[in-house]
Amino acid sequence: MPFDPPSSGAPDLAGQRVVLGVTGGIAAYKAIELCRRLVDAGAHVSPVLTEGALRFVGATTFSALASEPVRTSLFDDADPIPHTRLGQAADVVVVAPATARLLADYAAGRSADLLTATLLATRAPVVLAPAMHTEMWEHPAVQENLATLIRRGVVVVPPEDGRLAGGDIGAGRLADPATIVAAVRLTLVPRDLEGVPVLVTAGGTRERIDAVRVVTNRSSGKQGYAIAAEAAARGARVTLVTTVPRPVPPGVTEVVTVESAADMEGAVVPRAPDQEVIVMAAAVADFRPVRPAAGKIKKHDGPPTIALEATHDFLVDLGAAKPAGQVLVGFAAETDDVRANARAKLVRKGLDLIVANDVSAPGVGFEHDTNQVVLVSGGGIDHDVPLSDKRTVARAVIDAVVALRPPVARGTVAPPQTRTQKAKETNQ
């Protein structure tokens, strides 16, 4: 599956313990950059290098960049069972590069060194980034080992096409470190919306003045798309109703393209009863021309007088008809009295949560890659999200949605514990 590196922002792997395994391939030098990126993202990185890796890179380099010194052996450590300790403490194990030998040993359950022993001793998720020459990568034995590991739940970040050792060009080049870090992020995302139907709206609606001109707003759809991406990454079955032609986030189930407020109402309202979460991130026009012209209004006729009428606020309808257990989220783009206006809108429209921001503030809201919001809910406790990239804001919104959902909502089973949670509880 493709991994889309999120925008830069606050360290989003803070507190996560990552075992970084490095094996003996020429691409081992790229693991140095991967180690740095993981640490910069806030992760606690425990490097494990195989004997083969030490032929390409030095242990001192990784010890200097990582969160603790390099480990290389099952037997040269004060800890008599380092593989067990590493495996139990890890939130994720990453191997980059993963050689053909590593894939074979891991698939066969062979404990050949500290790294393979750690892989067998962990219940944490595992991310493998293979790298090898094209002929090796395409060999049936390697592909069968990969298929076995994928079937067992291992995440594989496929190699790229490019220049290889010896000057050859082909498949087998280690994926970019940013792509591997993105895979780690996605692997660590909680699957707390597994199978939950979620509808997200995005973008600004456009209301026709004539065949050419429209009344619209400055919404880029970036925040709505980030919320759709976050919900999908956490296992939701996401329907995205959008006015903007942006790339579809990975995992989104259905995309419905609309233009006007009426179009959006026609797409959202019939689908609403089947949704367990609705996030109305779109900036829906409050007004539209009463009589849009069928053709283009000519400039030489002079500026037209455009009479406006209110669009139907169907969010009020959604709030009034909200099924038991459904979480309904609205947005409030304000320029003054943000909290007061947001709380009034929350009550007036029957919402469970409202995401409010001051769009006059620098770097906030429309068209920016960043946002700063306050999450207002019926409980009376506001949660401030400081200026962050929009994926970080989306994460906070979905966290709030999950907290608002009943433990068992409309027949949805509570999300199971992760393998890491089970392992840590077992060993307490």
pLDDT, tens only, 171-185: 778 999 999 998 998
Specify the pTM. Answer: 0.69
Shared domain for 131 and 226, answered yes or no, is no
Which of 126, 158, 188 marks a domain boundary? Answer: 188
Structure tokens at 383: 């949660």
Burial pattern 127-158, b for ≥16 Cβ within 10 A else e, equals bbbbbbbbeebeeeebeebbeebeeeebbbbb
For residue 7, is it within any domain?
no
Query: What is the DSSP track for 355-409?
Result: EEEETTSTT-STT-SEEEEEEEETTS--EEEEEEEHHHHHHHHHHHHHHHS-SS-
Shared domain for 184 and 216, answered yes or no, is no
Print the domain residue range for 63.
17-188
For residue 422, is it within any domain?
no
CA angle 322, 261, 264 (to 5 degrees): 55
Shared domain for 183 and 202, answered yes or no, is no
Residue 379: pLDDT band (50, 70, 90) is: confident
For residue 416, is it within any domain?
no
CA–CA gap between residue 181 and residue 190 (Å, rounded): 16
Residue 360: pLDDT band (50, 70, 90) is: confident
What positions carry a catalytic annotation? 217
User: So what's the pLDDT on residue 141?
Assistant: 96
CATH of the domain at 203: 3.40.50.10300
For residue 238, is it within any domain?
yes
Whether residue 78 is predicted with pLDDT greater than 80 in this model: the reply is: no
Shared domain for 265 and 295, answered yes or no, is yes
User: So what's the pLDDT on residue 85?
Assistant: 85
Shared domain for 183 and 309, answered yes or no, is no
Choice among 67-76, 90-99, 277-286, 353-362 with the minimum mean pLDDT: 67-76
Q: Three-class SS of residue 234?
A: coil
CA–CA gap between residue 192 and residue 196 (Å, rounded): 9
User: So what's the pLDDT on residue 409?
Assistant: 52
Whether residue 1 is predicted with pLDDT greater than 50 in this model: the reply is: no
For residue 417, is it within any domain?
no
CB 254 within 8 A of CB 199: no
Across 25-29, 33-37, 157-161, 298-302, the highest mean pLDDT is recorded for: 33-37
Shared domain for 114 and 205, answered yes or no, is no
**pLDDT tens-digit map of 415-425:** 333 333 434 44
CA angle 336, 399, 424 (to 5 degrees): 150
Token look-up 């280690």 returns 174
For residue 204, is it within any domain?
yes
Which of 188, 205, 221 marks a domain boundary? Answer: 188
Shared domain for 147 and 292, answered yes or no, is no
Shared domain for 132 and 274, answered yes or no, is no
Shared domain for 255 and 184, answered yes or no, is no
CATH of the domain at 77: 3.40.50.1950
Shared domain for 201 and 167, answered yes or no, is no
Shared domain for 273 and 152, answered yes or no, is no
Shared domain for 32 and 138, answered yes or no, is yes
For residue 269, is it within any domain?
yes
For residue 427, is it within any domain?
no
CA 123 from centre of chain: 22
Domain count, the chain: 2
Q: Which residue has the higher pLDDT, 411 or 305?
A: 305
